[in-house]
Structures are given as C-alpha cells and as structure tokens.
Amino acid sequence: MKNINDILFIIQARTQSTRVPNKMLKPFADSNLFEIAINKVLKSSIIPKDNFYLSIMDQELINIAKKYNINYFIRSEESTQEPITLPKVFEWYNKLPFKYFVIINACNPILKIKTIDNFVNTFINSVCKGQFGVFEKKTFLFNNEGSMINKFYGDDKYLATLETKFVETCYEAAHSLYAGTMEDIGKEIYMGSFKKANDPKFFIMDEIECFDIDWPWQFTIAEKLYNESNNNRRGINR
C-alpha cells in the first residue's frame, strides 16, 4: 500500500498544439480543456491539493495556475520538442519531492471525477509500481499480413460471420491516466516494462471516458458529448 502524500498528481500542458491550435485554451463548453481538467482534480475527494501540480511554460497557462492557486512547475522549451527522452519530457521527476506520480491527460474532457478517484485508490492499494488506463476491445483485430491477433473460441461458421461474442477481449491504451515511480522515469521505463503481466497494471475504463482529442473533428465531437453528459443527472463533473 502506498502513502498518498508520496504521490505527485500532475497535468502537463502547452499552447503550441499543431493539429488543434491552442487546444488547451480554445473555447470548449463555456470553458476550456485546461480548466476543465484542473477543476476535476480540485473536486477530487482524495487528491491532496498540495500534491497537485501543473507542468507548464506559457504565460497564459501560468496565469490560470495562479488564478486557482495551484502549484506549477516551469517546463523547458526542450521538453515540448520531439524526439525526446522520458526524463526530459517529465523534467519534474527528480526535482519534486515525491516517490510516485499520477498524470491526468487534459485532452480527455469526458473523463469523470469518480474515475480519477478510483484510479488513484486502485494504485494506492496495489503493490504494482506502474498502472495505466485501458478500455476493452471486443472485436476482430488483424496484423498487416491479415492474420488475426486475438484468439477466436467459436466454430468456423461463426468466424466466417465475424461473430464477436467468441473472440478474445483485447485492451487498448486509453491515453488518459498514467501512474508510476519517479525512479523508473529516470531509467526511461515510465510505467513498466510491458513484457509481463501487471507490469504495468491495467485499469479498465469506460471507452467513452477515454475519448482523446488530437484532431479538430474530435474536438467538435468531444464538446457535444461533454454537453450531453452534463445535461443528465450523471454528468462528467461528478
């Protein structure tokens, strides 16, 4: 079991997005992605505010950090460039006084507060060093040679009709929530080796909460989904 006071909770952000210009601050549902993510962490029932940091460099983002009175780490210009090593993109790993980290992706506006809290509780109460969000894919997956990647447990007659109830469940990286150790970042391991079970540990999420914004069309759809969710009694900001 881990001590929550040993965990850094951090959002990395920048304003130089190329595919969706100024993605973090672009108007989104009467707010913006950056502040929506900040408010979710602040409303968490278990994350200590003193452990919450923003990794930022742009003055507009720094002004928002000051507005909410949130700790912030000034990242370098180099940390936003590619290709780059893990210790450089996560420059804070050996500069902030924590053993573990949880990264919250601000590009997932559908992510619910209770999911963040469940992720944190699962990480705290596990013996694993790393953990990350995934969602189930119950479908047929093929490699570039046309061979199936996942197993099929039914008769060939069901295979011919692509009957998904007999296909092995696989998991897709959610690009939403990540946890690991500061020590491993220094070794460029990040969350784990991905070479054996539970290294890192999967945290299974609802696929819709993992909707990640990389392109303008995704921004438009995410805003619609966000508004629809918050218009019902089981909104995102809970």
CA distance 159 to 164: 9
* pLDDT tens by residue, 101-110: 999 999 999 9
| 237 pLDDT above the threshold of 70 | no
pTM over 0.85: yes
pLDDT digits (tens, 9 = 90+) for 16-36: 888 999 999 999 999 999 999
pLDDT tens, position by position, 91-150: 999 999 999 999 999 999 999 999 999 999 999 999 999 999 999 998 888 889 888 888
The domains of the chain are located at 4-140+173-230
Total count of residues recorded for the chain: 238
pLDDT bracket for residue 70 (50, 70, 90) = very high
Q: The domain 4-140+173-230 is classified under which CATH number: 3.10.180.10, 3.30.750.24, 3.90.550.10, 3.30.470.10? A: 3.90.550.10
* SS3 state of residue 18: coil
Average pLDDT over the chain, rounded to an integer = 91
Q: Considering the chain, what percentage of its residues have pLDDT values greater than 90? A: 69
